[in-house]
């Protein structure tokens, strides 16, 4: 365990650095974009599956297993 890792019961929780709230704005925006991209990706997989594409045909270009596609579209 590194010295700067806080663990409850061993000196309490790790202190957070003092930072300007605006420093976290970019992180929040990137998180929002990541969630939107994930939702868009899922919607496209569902749309293509609905148009007759097989789970395996969609999995390959999506870079995921056919089970990932199947679970999303079952």
Structural domain includes residue 10:
no
Structural domain includes residue 8:
no
Structural domain includes residue 9:
no
Q: How far is CA 14 from CA 2, 45, 59, in A?
A: 11, 41, 41
Structural domain includes residue 70:
yes
Structural domain includes residue 55:
yes
Structural domain includes residue 45:
yes
Instruction: Report the number of distinct structural domains present in the chain.
Output: 1
Structural domain includes residue 25:
no
Question: Model pTM?
Answer: 0.68
* Per-residue model confidence (pLDDT) at position 1: 47
- Determine the structural domain holding residue 58 and report its residue range: 37-74
- Pick 15 or 43 by higher pLDDT: 43
| Per-residue H/E/C for 7-74 | ECCEEECCCCCCCCHHHHHHHHHHHHHHHHHHHHHHHHHHHHHHCCCCHHHHHHHHCCCHHHHHHHHC
Structural domain includes residue 27:
no
Is the Cβ–Cβ distance between 67 and 60 less than 8 Å? no
* Per-residue model confidence (pLDDT) at position 5: 53
């Amino acid at each position: 365990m590194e010295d700067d890792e806080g663990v409850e019961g061993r000196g309490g929780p790790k202190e957070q650095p003092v930072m300007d709230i605006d420093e976290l704005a970019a992180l929040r925006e990137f998180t929002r974009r990541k969630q939107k991209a994930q939702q868009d990706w899922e919607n496209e997989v569902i749309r293509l599956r609905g148009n007759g594409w097989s789970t395996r045909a969609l999995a390959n270009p999506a870079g995921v297993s056919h089970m990932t596609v199947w679970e999303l579209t079952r």
